Structure 1
Amino acid sequence: MATGASTEPPPRETRRRAPTWLLAGGALAIVVAALLTLALVGGDTLPERTGPPVEELAVERTQLRPGTIELTVRNVGPDAVSVAQAFVNDAYVDVRSGAASVGRLARTTLVLDYPWQEGQPYLVSLLTSTGAVIEHEIPVAVETPAADGDFFALMVLLGTYVGVIPIVLGMLFLPALQRASGRWIRALLALTVGLLAFLALDGTLEGLDLAAGSSGAFGGAELVFLGIALAYLALAALDSWLGARVARATGAHAGESGGALDGATAPSPTRLALMIAIGIGLHNLGEGLAIGSAYAVGELALGAFLVVGFALHNTTEGIAIVAPLANQPARPLRLLGLGLVAGAPAIVGALIGASVDNAELSAFLLGVGVGAIVRVIVQIAPSLRDRAGRLLDPTTVGGIAAGALALYLTGLLVSV
């Protein structure tokens, strides 16, 4: 018997496995084929509905021109809708439509010839081809501003007044903050958390209120929470990318010393200030939407009270941005950039709000601002700990309460 002979059984012939992309593509093809089959034959195999058609129209935008009322409507029901007649305050009026029938989720513009008078309330009743009545109320008739150069210039001016200027004014407190002690810096960061927490609460409530009054064609409250989730994840990804850049720049030194950069728990002061500015900027985008929408329907009282109210309200946001930079040298260009990041979105929001005036879009963007702010609060939290590792002590609790109270009191001066 040979001692070197192997007793292992011969290996089985391995079968070739299909690539992953082929398996996924095959499954996708089966799903698509099944859905197409259901679409073609599913309806014919089911009984017809015995009840009357379900007709639902939601008015998404109202524009008042001299002698006409223009309603942008969307079909939010399951069946097509045809508008046969229209009444304004029980008076029959001629109606012109861009489409004879409005399909599901489609929209069209109805032009009603009616000599409306400014400042008067009107009730518009739309009679469909099946006899259903859909009503829309105009509380106060105000001519819709024309989207011309003067209009856009006014929106830019409003956004600058309520967004950019107040935040830059708040950032002027940086020299005083640079002379503050470590305990005061923690108190100011806690003040920032209080300000941001109040902004998040205010944005959530306003977004839910707008969502409740929207058409619901593309979702209501879900849009607010979708915006929150997407903004939080996007800012988390942005912060991770910024942290990775810093890690690559300092990687050699960290490798030599055996240390590691923990950008997720201890962001640099500059990066933290940038994240705060982005969070506040996204909130101011929603604030600008509210301003523009209120102006478009004649509910915005322009004047010194509005400007001063927003100046006091948003100056505290400027302090929040520079709080992490108390131990950093003051660089005017960097500070100006942070101020524009936080304040300029108010200009963009005012332009969108006045020209689009869509409640669902506004609710989603308000959610985006809330999600960004929540992410910033999570980033600031590690900087609030004292030497004993406590997150909540009298200093931080007092700062958080003061920040929320300050924004609440200054918010009483602002009515949009």
Structure 2
Amino acid sequence: MPKWLQAVGPVAVLGAIVTLLATTSPFEMLAVSDGATTLEILWTVTIIGTIAGIVPVLIGMCWFPIIRELDPRYLHGFMTLAAGVLAFIALEMFEGIVGYGAAADRTALAAALVVVGLGGTFLAMSAAGEWRQRELASHENRGLRIAYLVALALGLHSLGEGLGIGVAFVQGNATRVTLLVLAFVIHNVTEGPTIVGAVVRDRSTPLRRHFALMGVLAGGPVVLGGWLGSFVSSPLLAVLCYAVAVGAIAQVLIEVADLIRFDAEAVFTRTNTATFAVGFALMFLLEDVFVGLLESWLVAG
């Protein structure tokens, strides 16, 4: 396949999906009626979550051949760009923790959930990472392990996305559902390169099933979060989900730094620092600027 097609193809597919969603408003007919069964709600939320979560992650992974041919210095820069994306998501999730914690009736319980969710997840993933590192010490594909951890961290963050979709769906707010899906499609397509950025340093290319599994691991929790949001609207649940996500991302950031340090003398080079800032700024533009403009356009339409 020509390189230009490998580079442009995912963009074309993403553009087609976004255009279709924005122009047809397919969720206008999906508002929940009083007579909707549990199975109907679950099935509809599953479709919405798959479109918003799994599909864009898999699209983003299609840039793997292009990323793999980059110079090692730029590969490290790409991984720090991914770290910038993760850092912004962690900050966003922390803001969610503060907001939902303030809305909860039992603030002491909310604080305990933050400690358990964030600290417990960080320690559990650290222990699992050390064990797997010992098990894979004689293998070359360390990057694949990091990629799975990145996918897991992104998946835990995706629970929060699903919660928002589920709540908007059961409220019958089709415009809000469309807005969220559009925002998450564009946002989650960046998660594909974020995941495979760790794999490119390995000498052997992983089997295709690994890409599929990592895509489901990163995007699938949007479906699970949608189910939870459809039936359980609780600030305490949101606090726990977000705390787990922040703990997972913190551990992944450490893993990414260790992976770069394995190949290079320094982690904080000019290139790495610049690309980290670009990743953070990119997510700010997508999450804060773009979503605000899109919401204004949908409401006006």
**Aligned partner of residue 109 in structure 2, secondary structure:** coil
Q: Where in structure 2 are the equivalents of 1:297-312 lying within 5 Å?
A: 297-299=171-173, 301=175, 305-312=179-186
Residue 407 (structure 1) aligned to one of 283, 294, 298: 283
Contact 2:161 2:184 in 1 (8 A): no
For 1:146 and 1:359, how far apart are their aligned partners in 2?
Answer: 25
Q: Which residue of 2 aligns with 1:197?
A: 87
Q: Which runs of 5+ in 2 are unaligned?
A: 1-31, 296-301
Q: Which residue of 1 aligns with 2:250?
A: 374
Structure with more of its chain in helix, by fraction: 2
Amino acid at match of 2:212: L
Structure with more of its chain in strand, by fraction: 1
Residue 198 (structure 2) aligned to one of 317, 321, 324: 324
Q: Where in structure 2 are the equivalents of 1:64-75 lying within 5 Å?
A: none
1:224 offset after TM fit, Å?
Answer: 2.4
Contact 2:143 2:259 in 1 (8 A): no
**Aligned partner of residue 357 in structure 1, secondary structure:** coil
**Who wins on radius of gyration, i.e. which is larger?**
1
**Aligned partner of residue 127 in structure 2, secondary structure:** helix
Amino acid at match of 2:158: N
Contact 2:144 2:206 in 1 (8 A): no
* Higher deviation after alignment, 279-288 or 322-331: 322-331
Distance 1:293 1:221, change over 3 A: farther
1:280 offset after TM fit, Å?
Answer: 0.5
For 1:235 and 1:212, how far apart are their aligned partners in 2?
Answer: 28
Q: Which runs of 5+ in 1 are unaligned?
A: 1-141, 251-260
1:375 offset after TM fit, Å?
Answer: 0.4
Q: Which residue of 2 aligns with 1:348?
A: 224
Contact 1:204 1:224 in 2 (8 A): no
For 1:309 and 1:211, how far apart are their aligned partners in 2?
Answer: 24
Distance 1:159 1:230, change over 3 A: same
For 2:154 and 2:41, how far apart are their aligned partners in 1?
Answer: 25
For 1:355 and 1:227, how far apart are their aligned partners in 2?
Answer: 22
Contact 2:168 2:177 in 1 (8 A): no
Contact 1:228 1:370 in 2 (8 A): yes
The answer to whether residue 40 in structure 2 is matched with residue 166 in structure 1 is no
For 1:160 and 1:223, how far apart are their aligned partners in 2?
Answer: 28
Q: Where in structure 2 are the equivalents of 1:111-190 lying within 5 Å?
A: 146-190=36-80
TM-score normalised by L of structure 1: 0.58
1:305 offset after TM fit, Å?
Answer: 4.6
**Aligned partner of residue 220 in structure 1, secondary structure:** helix
For 1:216 and 1:223, how far apart are their aligned partners in 2?
Answer: 11
Distance 1:392 1:304, change over 3 A: same
